[in-house]
Structure 1
């Protein structure tokens, strides 16, 4: 994958409604093409054809398909951050189970629209430095907020709140990524219930599930 930062930046920042609509058409077309053909076969020619623009017009906005995918990844990340409040005034459920359900459900909703595209973004997305920094910054914010939330909640029974905050943030993000984007059908409601139960039991010291003897 190309790692030149200049080659992963959009070339043209739309200033008019028409230009913004054209860029959105390119991104929508790219999402469909990547999901249908995969990243290697998802060429800029196919994206331009699906978007009903000339290849020259596409290159006015993006220098290559790496830049297009970085834009899709960035928007996916921003949507995930917007769906989960990270400020102290956010209205969340009072119980730990309710809080975990809110975060798990928000993560699932942000990942279930197009699992094939999500798989392409996870497995084949360019590792641009600016994108990696954005992801790291998002993770830091989630951990910091989770640390304050868990540290002040009377039902939390973990030995180390800092480690717990890191585990919760990483578990929700990575497990939802892998399960929702993984192969095969997933019962989303059952998956949500199981993940919420796992996190709640860990945080509150609830009873563990007995493993049957052979």
Structure 2
């Protein structure tokens, strides 16, 4: 994120903290909405039941969208809207899978909140637990994954015939794999399996913590 975007995010979140929540009228079953709106591009829309328990929250930060739903969990997406304020024509484009980078940015943006607004506190805790689960599972390093090099077979399969193109593109050179001692290879496989088990336990712990909060 650029310095200008970072400053915009700080201003938007600060304005969100200072925003006065607006409660909507009770709907079916006593459910009502609570809306925090920052004119700088941040928004928190919460839905609570008749007992005041949060059932769903939608957080928008400069066009990035996070949705939490009780019993379902977190989803991410992006928002197209005109201007900083929420508009009726705003369109949310959900991601096919939750994007770790979006969750991490939202968690970091709200981690400094120390106020007493229970709706902001709720989404802050949800994102903090999600961030913890990503870190334990190694998701933090996957926030901006490097592009994977194509396999040798895929490169060969799609390479143009020499006679079809006068100057074929330079093929991608894959790194050479050094010879490995068999004993060292078995040891590396064992260590790799151990790391996978640890990462799996971390992911299960993160999910369990998130479900406990729900």
TM-score range relative to shorter protein: under 0.3
Structure having the higher Rg: 2
User: Could you say which structure has the higher strand fraction?
Assistant: 2
TM-score, normalising length from structure 2?
Answer: 0.28
TM-score normalised by length of structure 1: 0.28
Q: Which has the higher contact order (CA 8 A, sep 6+)?
A: 1
